[in-house]
Structure 1
Amino acid sequence: MDRKEQPLVSIVIPAYNNENTIIATLESIRNQSYKNIEIIIIDDNSKDKTLQLVTEQQKKDNRIKIYHNSTNLGMIGNWNKCIQMSNGEFVKLVCADDLLDKNEIEKETGVMILNPSVNLVESDTRLIDINGKKTGSFKRYHKSGLVKGKKIARTSIIWNNFFGAPVNNLIRKSVLDKTGYFDEQFTYILDFDMWMKIACTGDVYIIHELLNSFRIRNDSNTGNLIGKDRETYVAEHQRLVDKYAGELQLNRFEYAFSIWFRKFRNAAIGIYLRVFAK
């Protein structure tokens, strides 16, 4: 398919003090085999050289669009602004330390084009440390291909977030007009909530291939949340369960088990972070 015939894909990058990683992230995006992309970077008033570095990269690639917040919006404010500024038929949010494999956008977009009922495409994720060394992997829901979104949502909220991080999700932009953007009542698990509400609107497609890399750091949002602020996470998880318990028809046991199991998983992940994250 010629680039002019390809649907536009918006790859949006919320950035804040990412001078050490954002160039590698940008290179992995610029080198995609799928060419009809726009790369939107919104710098949230960084105090380091992030804005300077991405401005230099813009000279090399006219697909890069840069916006600078004169005041810091915080994570949820900047993530929502990224979505708002996107123009593509499909959207992928990539944090400024994550990496995409060369053919990720091509494979995920191909699924969207062939399956109009699919609102979310997901692929498996490689876990890496600050130096890019693989420390593990995270796989999506166990089935491959087309799956009813509510089925994954129900399993995820009871057992484990099978949706994963933003980097492994491609969103159909039109569905966001129905669901809205990231919910401001969540400080940490705003992305989990986003995938839940999108999944409840239609089908999800699972690609069981490692197509991206998620960087695990002790000072990241994930590290702070699970490693140091577990009580806040559990409180937010309970809020999430309350939000979807009716729609997903959770019984009392499933409701209670979901919250207990989240506490257990947080403890296990905290151990993982102490061993592998730097």
Structure 2
Amino acid sequence: MPLVRLRGNRALSPGISICLPNYNGADYLAEAIESVLVQSYSDFELLIGDDGSSDNSREIIASYVRKDPRIVFWTNEERLGLFGNYNACLKKAKGRYIKPFAHDDLLEPDALSRLSAVLEGNPDVSLVSSERRWIGSRGETIEGAVHFTEDQYLCGKEVIIANLITLSNWVGEPSAVMFRGCDKGEGFDQSLYHYGDIEYWFRILSKGDLVYLSKPVCRFRRHEQSNTTINLAGLYFAMDIFRIGDKYKHYLNELGETKEHFAARAIEKIALQMDHLVRNEDLKLPTVIAARPAGHEQFVRADNDVLREALFESTGRVTSLLKELLQTQNELEHRQGECERLRAAVNQMSNSVSWRLTAPLRTVREKIGTKE
């Protein structure tokens, strides 16, 4: 992959390689870099690949390169997209440990020392992650999910299966994790849009276990221009779910799940996520159409295949749900008819001569029963 404008000086074999892909991140980039430079662990290289930014990102990065020789900076010759840019960083990484990062996130000052200590002290652990604090565009704290309140040591295979079952990524975003340089492999799957991180974590976790720290090591920012927001708005996560389900179906097959059952779960997950986006994020069709992440042009045909599969499965699921709804409606109408017939029978009995004649006997019996 051709790269140009390499800058900075590198120490030989740094302890940690921090991979920071950037594209038009000027609004938050300086703050992100500053959070790296104040780390209590100082034996690192900061690899920054710019993906052809049109803002002043490169000027910001260059100003830091002049101050700190641990920073290595280049501009990609062509747009690679987020995961392609990560992979460009990974190819240059020489550290014993790899720390992915993002231009709009922040690291806590002890992030590198805490994460690397876990890998150093646990040879069977291939990935370490942590809780994260959630912040908005202005750095304000916002509500976010908390997965564990105590540190966890988890079997890698079980983590993979758990995330496949929930169709989510609770392992963490790139800024929350660290792994060994010897396990970086081929890097992120560039055919994926939204779940490229968890798919990469799956491959790393196939080599070892996960330690999950309950104390956050980073602050994860949510804002309108973030890759997470764009991928959700464009519904690209839907295609990723089907791709990952197919790639890791052998794990689910061990549990007895069929392809059809997985497809039904996937459609329900996608529908719930879409409902949330429409109701709570005011998602509309023009926004869906306009959301186009870079670096995926070569995957258009594959995307169409996945979309056709999703359409087929969703149509079948909707048909099945409509049948269930019709059956439920018929059952409800039948029950309502039964209730009407019983109500009529009760009315007829209460208005009968025999019922009225035996009323005094029932009154006496009730009084006797009360005394007893």
User: TM-score, structure 1 length as denominator?
Assistant: 0.88
* 1:12 aligned to which of 7, 19, 29: 19
Superposition pairs for residues 1-278 of structure 1, below 5 Å?
Answer: 8-140=15-147, 144-159=151-166, 160-177=168-185, 180-226=186-232, 228-230=233-235, 232-248=236-252, 249-250=254-255, 251-252=257-258, 253=261, 256-268=264-276, 273=281
What does residue 341 of structure 2 align with?
none
CA contact (8 A) 2:193 2:231 kept: no
CA contact (8 A) 2:222 2:229 kept: yes
Q: 1:195 to 1:269 in 2, by over 3 A?
A: farther
Deviations 1:55-105 (A, max 9, x none): 111122111111112322222221110111111011111111110000111
Offset at residue 241 of structure 1 (A): 1.0
Deviations 1:128-151 (A, max 9, x none): 111000102333467733210111
Whichever residue aligns with residue 272 of structure 2, its letter is F
CA contact (8 A) 2:153 2:211 kept: yes
Q: 1:191 to 1:108 in 2, by over 3 A?
A: same
Q: 1:263 to 1:82 in 2, by over 3 A?
A: farther
Offset at residue 268 of structure 1 (A): 3.0
Distance 2:80 2:199 in 1: 20
Distance 1:139 1:184 in 2: 29
Offset at residue 15 of structure 1 (A): 0.7
Distance 1:139 1:270 in 2: 24
Q: Which has the higher contact order (CA 8 A, sep 6+)?
A: 1
Helix, strand or coil at the partner of 2:142: strand
Offset at residue 193 of structure 1 (A): 0.8
CA contact (8 A) 1:58 1:64 kept: yes
Uncovered stretches (5+) of structure 2, i.e. residues with no partner: 1-10, 284-372
Distance 2:70 2:131 in 1: 26
> How many correspondences in the alignment?
267
> Matched residues, percent identical?
27
Whichever residue aligns with residue 189 of structure 1, its letter is Y
Distance 2:148 2:218 in 1: 16
Distance 1:49 1:195 in 2: 32
- Worse-matched range after superposition: 155-164 or 33-42: 155-164
Deviations 1:16-69 (A, max 9, x none): 111111000000011111111111111111111111111111122111111112
CA RMSD of superposed structures (Å): 2.3
Offset at residue 259 of structure 1 (A): 4.4
What does residue 288 of structure 2 align with?
none
Larger Rg: 2
Whichever residue aligns with residue 139 of structure 1, its letter is V
Greater helix percent: which structure?
2
